[in-house]
């Protein structure tokens, strides 16, 4: 009912785009910038070292975070705290031979060998981690696991083709997911309008208007309850990655993402670490002075400052927002109490009030106004006629409150922290 | 990267990167568009004096806002059009024969006391336009009385007729006359048909909250019907009440100013309802013929209380 009365007249918010075309392969990267934060680099990986596809470059200390593999033939051109830079290079005989020696893992066999039960799941998760997969959300503790089959953000269009045209990959991922997840029930949530049958999977039809794809709202649409216990959500993207590894038997070195601008939109399978500039070139998108470059979704993503930023496993899209197509954000604009954000907020908060509290550093008051119930869907900023960075203010308040809590709380044992980072961390790289 | 395009200067922003495209300026523009039919009707019915008052009032409001911002050391933001719209709305409530100094005084009072004194757009506790109007109305009752100012006309003041000659005399005025603005009233407030068109357009486009407007009109019509059923001899029909005074102007353009209204659907509706009911109570039991402006000012004061009616946040227990 609420959808009828919101002011979202933007057709892009209807998360069905009728795109069913199979994904194209992305560019062969000339350069790559891989995220190596917290990773222990493999032996011999240093500046000028030569690398070949699927070569292990680093190991993540967390059992839930995937290891790092090279997506191509090349040379390590630089290494710093956060990133590892590769430069494409013609391989010689020796390197070719090494590349040919990369053995495929029969992942299903691995799953069988690991056995059932909690121990078996743990072993399987470790095995998958060694194939470059993040298994935190896939293997999370829950009774019911919901696969989020909606396009996460408006403008992202890969969910439909993934469900329709790349079904074999999903099926492979699903078979593996059943081994990996402790959930007793796995449900695939798809848009209401989508006709889809899986013989071995329960389908739940949910609304298809953004913000329906926000995890918390998806859970509510499927279970009818708000923040219930024992229900987990995993992205379709993760399931696809799982299926990709199961199908190829090779470590994960790629991601599916939508590259979009005002006129162009396409879905590509892109190599890990591919530079955004190369990707845009490949997609034929011209950038002009004053355009904004976004990694992630157009509503929740992050703004990039230069073309030499890269996409990593877990990136969902790269978007260009042309200068002049949206009114520019006004950092200092005061709230004019128009109430549009209050009307649209799916969490029933008052973003107007929250953003003002954050503006004047009254973070404790924001806590009293339930800032932690915010789902960070970004709609408040979308409808703000004063063009205030509302979501950014709310994130600031949340960040400051978390910081304050950390200062007050007793120090946690090391190691416990690693696996508990928020979901978004997985794709915030370089 | 060897790529030359790397030299492109990218604009950093904060999420969301897409936007619905609505800005304060565009909102004001649509308000002006919605007010245009009534402005045209006003000129049609009252001639050039109406145009004079409207132009002067808009100019005075814009000038007052620019001056205030200059004095307060702020960026001049009159280009957002809000002052112009406030000016036009104020002009709509003045008689077409209002003297120039009255118009300027009202405009200055509206902007300085009704808006800038509280910090600018959206910070005022009660409606900007009505603040100026109320100051003029209590200070210069004779000059603000359209019936006394507009002597050179064949129109009648329907509300005065109702108050002093009874319902039967009031109902003699043909309804089309009320709709076409052939009534003595504020120069624009009386253009009932045109205001209804413009206001419905705004509500349908979501520029004003339909919950408030609907509540307001239901409040007026509901109480008017109740009165009319109780005693048809002294009470006019609900249609008469809707088409007279500043009810249409107030319901669509004044009470819906979101800065002074609650922001959630149910409180908005109740807010409108209270405003509408107050109009009828003032008309029936008060000393003023038209209760709408004061009713809206009173309802504005109630808005913060209504805002306390709120649902639990998502997942809250």
Q: Which of B2, B7, B14, B304 to mutate to test the interface with A (most CBs of A within 10 A)?
A: B14
Cβ contact B14–A329 (<8 Å): yes
Extended strands (E) in chain B: none
Q: Which of B11, B121, B259 is the closest to A292 by Cβ?
A: B11
Residue A358 and residue B294: Cα distance in Å, rounded?
36
B200-229 residues touching A, CB cutoff 8 A:
206, 209
Q: What is the H or E stretch that residue B238 is in?
A: helix B238-243
Task: Please give the residue that has the higher pLDDT: either A48 or A420.
Answer: A48
For the cut 90, the answer to whether the pLDDT of residue A114 exceeds it is no
Longest dimension (CA), chain A: 68
Task: Please give the residue that has the higher pLDDT: either A2 or B206.
Answer: B206
Chain A partners within 8 Å of B265 (Cβ): 5, 343
- Averages of pLDDT over runs of 10 residues in chain B (317 residues) are 62 89 92 96 93 97 96 92 95 94 96 93 93 95 87 86 87 89 90 95 91 96 94 90 93 94 94 96 91 94 93 83
Task: Please give the residue that has the higher pLDDT: either B108 or A11.
Answer: B108
Cβ contact B17–A308 (<8 Å): no
Give pLDDT, residue A262. Answer: 87
| pTM reported for the whole predicted model | 0.89
Cβ contact A381–B121 (<8 Å): no
Measured between CA atoms, how close is B48 to chain A, in angstroms? Answer: 35
Measured between CA atoms, how close is B193 to chain A, in angstroms? Answer: 26
Give pLDDT, residue A8. Answer: 64
Those residues with Cβ within 8 angstroms of residue A358's Cβ, 6 or more apart along the chain or in another chain: A366, A393, A394, A396, A397, A400
Q: Which of A277, A289, A291 is the closest to B6 by Cβ?
A: A277
Pairing outcome for strands A231-235 and A254-260: unpaired
Q: Which of B16, B27, B316 is the closest to A391 by Cβ?
A: B16
Residue A146 and residue A144: Cα distance in Å, rounded?
6
Cβ contact A373–B315 (<8 Å): yes
ipTM of the complex: 0.88
Residue B236 and residue B238: Cα distance in Å, rounded?
7
Return the structure tokens found at B194.
């045109």
């Amino acid at each position: 009912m609420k959808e009828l009365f919101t002011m979202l007249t933007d057709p892009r918010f209807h998360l069905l785009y009728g795109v069913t075309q199979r994904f194209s392969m992305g560019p062969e990267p000339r350069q790559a910038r891989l995220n190596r934060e917290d990773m222990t680099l493999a032996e011999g990986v240093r500046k000028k070292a030569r690398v070949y596809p699927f070569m292990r470059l680093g190991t993540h200390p967390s059992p839930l975070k995937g290891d790092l593999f090279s997506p191509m033939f090349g040379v390590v051109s630089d290494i710093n705290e956060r990133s590892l830079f590769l430069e494409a290079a013609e391989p010689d005989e020796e390197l070719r031979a090494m590349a040919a020696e990369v053995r495929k893992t029969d992942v299903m066999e691995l799953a069988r060998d690991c056995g059932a039960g909690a121990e078996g799941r743990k072993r399987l998760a470790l095995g998958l981690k060694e194939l470059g997969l993040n298994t935190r959300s896939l293997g999370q503790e829950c009774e019911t696991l919901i696969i989020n089959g909606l396009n996460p953000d408006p403008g992202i269009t890969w969910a439909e083709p993934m469900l329709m045209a790349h079904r074999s990959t999903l099926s492979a991922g699903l078979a593996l997911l059943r081994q990996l997840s402790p959930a007793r029930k796995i449900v695939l949530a798809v848009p209401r309008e989508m006709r889809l049958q899986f013989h071995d999977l329960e389908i739940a039809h949910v609304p298809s208007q953004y913000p329906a794809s926000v995890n918390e709202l998806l859970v509510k649409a499927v279970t009818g309850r708000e923040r219930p216990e024992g229900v987990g959500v995993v992205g379709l993207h993760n399931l696809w990655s799982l299926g990709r590894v199961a199908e190829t038997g090779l470590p994960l070195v790629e991601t599916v993402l939508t590259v979009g601008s005002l006129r162009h939109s396409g879905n590509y399978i892109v190599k890990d670490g591919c530079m955004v500039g190369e990707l845009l070139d490949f997609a034929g998108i011209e950038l002009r002075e004053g355009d904004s470059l976004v990694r992630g979704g157009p509503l929740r993503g992050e703004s990039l400052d230069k073309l030499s930023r890269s996409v990593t496993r877990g990136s969902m899209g790269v978007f260009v927002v042309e200068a002049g197509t949206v009114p520019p954000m006004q950092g200092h604009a005061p709230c004019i109490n128009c109430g549009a954000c209050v009307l649209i907020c799916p969490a029933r908060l008052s973003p107007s009030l929250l953003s003002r509290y954050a503006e004047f550093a009254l973070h404790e008051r924001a806590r009293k106004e339930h800032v932690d119930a915010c789902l960070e869907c970004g709609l408040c900023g979308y409808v703000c006629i004063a063009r205030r960075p509302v979501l950014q203010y709310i994130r600031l308040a949340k960040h400051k409150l978390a910081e304050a809590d950390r200062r007050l709380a007793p120090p946690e044992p090391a190691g416990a922290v690693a696996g508990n980072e928020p979901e978004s961390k997985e794709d915030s790289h370089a | 990267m060897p790529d030359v395009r790397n030299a492109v200067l990218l604009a950093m922003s904060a999420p969301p990167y897409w936007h619905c495209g609505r800005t304060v300026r565009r909102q004001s523009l649509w308000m002006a568009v919605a007010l245009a039919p009534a402005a045209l009707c006003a000129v049609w019915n009252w001639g050039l004096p109406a145009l004079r008052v409207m132009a002067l009032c808009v100019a005075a409001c814009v000038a007052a806002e620019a001056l205030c911002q200059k004095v307060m050391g702020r960026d001049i933001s009159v280009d957002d059009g809000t002052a112009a719209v406030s000016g036009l709305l104020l002009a709509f409530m003045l008689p077409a024969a209002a003297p120039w100094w009255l118009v300027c005084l009202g405009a200055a009072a509206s902007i300085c006391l009704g808006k800038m004194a509280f910090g600018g757009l959206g910070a005022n506790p009660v409606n900007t336009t009505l603040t100026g109007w109320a100051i003029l109305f209590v200070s210069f009752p004779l000059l603000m009385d359209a019936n006394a100012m507009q002597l050179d006309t064949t129109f009648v003041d329907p509300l005065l007729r109702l108050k002093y000659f009874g319902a039967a005399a009031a109902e003699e005025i043909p309804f089309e006359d009320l709709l076409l603005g052939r009534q003595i009233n504020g120069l624009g407030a009386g253009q009932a048909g045109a205001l209804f068109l413009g206001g419905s357009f705004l509500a349908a486009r979501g520029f004003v909250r339909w919950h408030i407007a609907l509540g307001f009109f239901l409040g007026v019509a509901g109480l008017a019907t109740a009165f009319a059923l109780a005693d048809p001899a002294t009470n006019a029909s609900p249609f008469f009440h809707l088409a007279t005074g500043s009810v249409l102007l107030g319901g669509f353009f004044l009470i819906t100013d979101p800065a002074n209204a609650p922001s959630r659907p149910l409180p908005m509706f109740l807010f409108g309802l209270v405003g509408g009911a107050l109009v009828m109570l003032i008309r029936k039991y008060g000393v003023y013929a038209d209760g709408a402006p004061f009713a809206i000012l009173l309802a504005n004061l109630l808005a913060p209380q209504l805002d306390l009616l709120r649902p639990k946040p998502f997942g809250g227990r």
